[in-house]
């Protein structure tokens, strides 16, 4: 049975601007980060929520947060990531 305190009842979207977003690339494809680790407010966001990274109005990363812990989370966008595969 899932822990009610760690399971979101409704998905939320965590929106950040690309130029202010620090992340670590875990997996990449063709130079684009497809799985990333980043800092998150653990008390507000949970696995199953969505990460949206924008550059102006352009979407650079749109993926589901699959894992959270301490103050870090992992998200995946295997279809359309435009984030460069670097450690920032």
> Which residues lie closer than 8 Å to 64 by C-beta, 6 or more apart?
48, 49, 50, 51, 75, 76
Q: Would 34 be classed as within a structural domain? A: yes
Q: Which residues form the domain of 67?
A: 21-76
Separation of alpha carbons 15 and 71, rounded Å: 17
pLDDT at 9: 64
State both tokens at 3: 């822990």
pLDDT at 4: 47
pLDDT at 68: 86
Q: Would 51 be classed as within a structural domain? A: yes
Q: What is the torsional sign of CA 31, 32, 37, 39?
A: positive
> Which residues lie closer than 8 Å to 41 by C-beta, 6 or more apart?
71
Mean pLDDT, the chain cut into blocks of 10 residues (88 residues total): 53 91 94 94 83 95 90 92 80
> Per the structure, how many domains does the chain have?
1
pTM, 2 dp: 0.81
Q: Would 26 be classed as within a structural domain? A: yes
Q: Would 31 be classed as within a structural domain? A: yes
């Amino acid at each position: 049975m899932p822990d009610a305190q760690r399971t979101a009842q409704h998905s939320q979207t965590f929106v950040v601007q690309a130029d202010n977003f620090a992340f670590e690339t875990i997996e990449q494809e063709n130079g684009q980060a497809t799985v990333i680790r980043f800092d998150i407010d653990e008390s507000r966001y949970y696995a199953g929520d969505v990460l949206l990274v924008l550059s102006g109005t352009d979407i650079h990363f749109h993926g589901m947060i699959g894992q959270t812990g301490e103050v870090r989370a992992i998200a995946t966008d295997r279809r359309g990531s435009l984030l460069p595969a670097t450690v920032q």
